[in-house]
Amino acid sequence: MKLFETKGNPFLQITNLNNQLVNVEIYNTSGQQIIQPITFKENSLNISNLSNGLYFIRVSNLNNQQKIFKFLKK
């Protein structure tokens, strides 16, 4: 899985090479959950409602394998 944001695009893009269903959660730097766990079916997530700042995104699959990414929203 890879996470990327195109400049000027209000969406986070996730490439999922194995085409698995994944759950996505977003946290702020205080550890507060900003986006509740959602099953991610598309390849992008709208983040236009988030304020500028640093965030952490946890992506987990149905086997409970997890990856945590950090991203800066400008």
What residue ranges define each of the domains in the chain, with the CATH number in brackets? 2-73 (2.60.40.3080)
pTM across the whole model: 0.75
Residue pLDDT, tens place only, 17-55: 566 778 889 999 999 999 888 877 666 777 888 898 999
- Residue 4 pLDDT > 70: no
Query: Pairing relation of β-strands 22-28 and 53-61?
Result: antiparallel
Please, how many CA atoms are within 13 Å of residue 45, restricted to the half-sphere of its CB?
Answer: 22
Q: CA angle 40-43-11, nearest 5°?
A: 100
Question: DSSP secondary structure string, 2-67?
Answer: EEEE-TT--EEEEE-TT---EEEEEEETTS-EEEEEEEE-SSEEE-TTSPSEEEEEEEEETT--EE
What confidence score (pLDDT) does residue 33 get? 95
What confidence score (pLDDT) does residue 3 get? 56
Confidence of residue 7 (pLDDT cuts 50, 70, 90): low
